[in-house]
Amino acid sequence: MMKNVLYQTESLISKISFFTNSTNQRLSPTEVHCINVVKKFDYENFVATLFISDEEIRRTAFALRAFNVELAQIRDITRTNELAQIRFQFWQDVIDEIYSISSTSQVTDNETLMKYRNFPLAFELFKVLSGSEKLSKHWISKLIQIRRDPKYLGEYPFQTLNELEKYCEASTVSLYYFLNEKSIQLSNEGQKNAGYRIALDHVANHLGKAQGLTNILRGIVHNAKNRRCYIPNDILMKSKCSHEAFLQCQQDNDSLREAIYLIASNAKGHLEHGQKLLVSNGNETPKIQKSDRLIFLPMMAIQAYLHDLQRVQFNVFDSWLYRRRGSLPLKMWWKCKIF
């Protein structure tokens, strides 16, 4: 048993090395760029994406996650909202141009590729999003629109938990909706029906919200350094806490821990609901195929974080929460086996 575990661990390490090797002949330089961006800034999603079995979906997932990293960082790397809007508009222009090009216009395609040759992420987005059967522009545009909304560029943007969940739906769930659409596009004709798509998106809605809420919790320390707090006002009122308590990182504040508990409980509720839907095989709900279940493997990282958060009694500032979970790749591999 132990030899088998060690073998699988070595296999995973080899797989990770293969996908991040800049000299990899099977992958284009822009693919490698996106993979390395996700590995550096979003490691858990990087590991989870490696297990997606379909190469096209995996490539699309890495491009989208690298794009999401880029959008998420704009708020931090720009000094003013005006400069942030310029960067957001650049990416909106890139998406608009990709979707305006006819699939039969080879000359225009080549011109666009040359235009973005010094922007590897834009180049890769063009490669994965353009084609004879383009995916919906709606979901990828929402990733930009929600983050560039002036309301969400402020220091205390959320009034209610419901409002925060809507933000998570646009900034996180949209990515899963897009990957679901890609999977449906590549699937067999028998799988392309409205019922299956609805079931797939129902899972995405809950697991995506769980991931979005968890990201808010994980970003508290970083945002506090920038004098920002994304904890909704209604949660602060229920827990009798304040924005300032979060900005000062008051570890021993019981009201602060209560606020964390309320959001974590909501995230856990979405996670558990999504997990039940994922394995449901009822008469009214189509069974989700294994290849599609792998898209939602990041739920393992969400579950691990929420479990650890409970172990430290919802002290979101505990340094133990920010370690890299070395066993996570192996746990994800095992989950793939029993899915």
Looking up tokens 């925060």, which residue turns up? 164
Residue 58's contacts (CB-CB under 8 Å, 6 or more residues apart) are: 49, 50, 52
Mean pLDDT score of the chain: 88
pLDDT at residue number 326:
84
Residue at 1 is within a domain: no
Whether residues 183 and 126 share a domain: the answer is: no
Mark whether 330 and 263 lie in a shared domain: yes
**Residue 121: what residue type?**
L
- Write down the pLDDT at residue 1: 46
pLDDT beneath 50, residues of the chain: 1-2, 5-6, 104, 107, 190
In a domain, 5, yes or no: no
Place of tokens 């809007």: 85
Last-in-domain residue among 112, 137, 153? 153
State the CB neighbour count (10 A cutoff) for residue 182. Answer: 22
Helix, strand, or coil (residue 7): helix
Q: What is the pLDDT of residue 313?
A: 96
The parent domain of residue 28 ranges over 16-153
Residues 167 and 299 in one domain: yes
Domain end point (choices 153, 187, 222):
153
**What are the residue ranges of helices labelled H in the chain?**
2-20, 29-41, 43-50, 55-77, 81-100, 106-115, 120-129, 137-148, 161-168, 174-186, 194-218, 220-225, 233-239, 243-247, 254-279, 290-293, 299-311, 328-338
The Cα 236–Cα 187 span in angstroms is 45
Task: Examine residue 11 and state whether it is found in any structural domain, yes or no.
Answer: no
Q: Are residues 167 and 138 in the same domain?
A: no
Cα separation, 8 vs 181, in Å, equals 31
Asked whether residue 270 falls in the same domain as residue 226, the answer is yes
Residue holding tokens 């994965």? 128
**Could you tell me what percent of the chain has a pLDDT over 90?**
69
Residue 162 lies in a domain: yes
Among 122, 153, 184, the domain boundary falls at 153
| Rounded Cα distance, 255 and 250, in Å | 10
Q: What is the pLDDT of residues 230-269, one digit of tens each?
A: 999 999 999 999 999 999 999 999 999 999 999 999 999 9
Number of domains making up the chain: 2
Q: Are 38 and 45 in contact (CB under 8 A)?
A: yes
Locate 277 and state its tokens: 């839907």
Residue 219 shares a structural domain with residue 137? no
In whole angstroms, give the CA distance from residue 158 to residue 156: 6
For position 279, what pLDDT does the model report? 84
